[in-house]
Structure 1
Amino acid sequence: MNISDVAKRTGLPVKTIRYYEDIGLIAPARSGNGYRSFSDSDIHKLAFLGRARSLGFGIDACRGLLRLYNDKSRASADVKKLAQEHLAEIDQKLSELHQMRDTLSHLIETCAGNDRPDCPILADLASEC
């Protein structure tokens, strides 16, 4: 199967598929003329990677997940640990986003939003931490 067919089937952009090959996440066979030839296994790996990336896993984590997926003697505890670490990262990001939102909301509330030049939003942005 060629790369454009694989892209349609997996929902991944061709550029992403090429990138995954460049960084060694997949290794499709090459025909005599140099074209990629994707196997069902390659398509499955790409779909797996697409799903993992949609859950926010980074490239290194995806590499680890693929390694665990391919290791039939793996312990599910290892997979769970990786997922728990990622969830902790998501929770940290959410906390940071909530803090940013609260700060920005407060600054917006304190700004009169009138024709006067003084603005608490700009004053806060200009203040040294």
Structure 2
Amino acid sequence: MNNHVTIGRLAREAGLAAETLRYYERIGLIRPVQRTQSNYRLYDGEAEARLRFIRRAQNLGFSLSEIKELLDISHQPESDMAAVKALAERKIGDIDRKIADLRRMRDALAQQAERCPGRGPVEHCPILAALADADGDLPSRSKWEPADSLQVR
């Protein structure tokens, strides 16, 4: 008997949707070791290890394309770790820029919240006025954060 699992079982064990695993397969992050006669995907322990790697890398802020690059490097014994370090240092720079942007946004919002008395008609609300003012003193979104990425994780 083998230790292969179906996509449904692997997805449940990983806490992911089966469609996420299919997507990961399409972009080359994981691959089934075989298919059954009924064309079901079967995965082995390597797929489970790759999913753990993917989750840990995502928790550090790496994108799926960066994770693919890390996985590709890790499976090339002749690769030099300098490539991994360079990727990590680039990610650290990205994170530092995001932190600086978040600090600017926090400071601007705190300043607006300080100006608001917290009572009275909303037509006199300095926070809403600042948001409506195109030339106001609120920071603009940086390039790292597209308009549709304002999700809480």
Global fold match (TM > 0.5): yes
Match in the other structure for 2:141: none
CA distance in 2, matches of 1:62, 1:101: 30
7, 12, 22: which is aligned to 1:18? 22
CA distance in 2, matches of 1:11, 1:23: 19
Runs of 4 or more, structure 1, over 6 Å off, are none
| Unaligned ranges ≥5, structure 1 | none
Q: Indicate the SS of the match to 1:57.
A: coil
Q: Does 1:4 align with 2:4?
A: no
CA distance in 2, matches of 1:7, 1:31: 17
| Unaligned ranges ≥5, structure 2 | 136-153
Q: Indicate the SS of the match to 2:124.
A: coil
Percent identity of the aligned residues?
A: 38
CA-atom RMSD, angstroms? 1.6
40, 54, 76: which is aligned to 1:49? 54
Match in the other structure for 1:75: 80
Q: Indicate the SS of the match to 1:37.
A: strand
Q: Does 1:64 align with 2:69?
A: yes
Q: Indicate the SS of the match to 1:80.
A: helix
CA distance in 2, matches of 1:49, 1:34: 26
Q: Is the 8 A contact 1:17 1:46 kept in 2?
A: no
35, 39, 47: which is aligned to 2:40? 35
Match in the other structure for 2:129: 123
Per-residue deviation, residues 22-59 of structure 1 (Å, max 9, x unmatched): 22222212222110110222222222112111222101
Q: Which amino acid aligns with 1:78?
A: A
> TM-score w.r.t. structure 1 length?
0.89
CA distance in 2, matches of 1:111, 1:11: 43
CA distance in 2, matches of 1:32, 1:95: 54
Deviation at 1:126, TM superposition (A): 1.3
